[in-house]
């Protein structure tokens, strides 16, 4: 019995049917977080408002994009 194995190449790329990346900002002092937004400026405004109310000054930004994989065709 003979087994044939093929090596396939794949790539990952942005999903062409995707919406814009979504993001949120989370306070590192109290774990409060902004609403999930497409606009970075909305997240920035939330962080500045939160700093004004709490005097917290450390934040972490999270962003998510939709991705797809596709098989790369071998040259013939």
Using pLDDT thresholds of 50, 70 and 90, give the confidence band for residue 68. Answer: very high
Using pLDDT thresholds of 50, 70 and 90, give the confidence band for residue 76. Answer: low
Does the pTM of the predicted model rise above 0.85?
no
Mean pLDDT of the chain: 90
Please say if the pLDDT value at position 2 is more than 80. Answer: no
pLDDT value at position 44? 96
Query: How far apart are alpha carbons 10 and 14 in whole angstroms?
Result: 14
Query: How far apart are alpha carbons 37 and 23 in whole angstroms?
Result: 5
């Amino acid at each position: 019995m003979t087994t044939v194995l093929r090596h396939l190449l794949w790539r990952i790329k942005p999903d062409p049917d995707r919406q814009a990346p979504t993001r949120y900002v989370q306070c590192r002092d109290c774990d409060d977080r902004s609403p999930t937004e497409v606009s970075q400026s909305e997240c920035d405004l939330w962080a500045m408002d939160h700093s004004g109310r709490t005097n917290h000054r450390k934040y972490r930004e999270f962003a998510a994009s939709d991705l797809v994989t596709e098989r790369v065709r071998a040259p013939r």
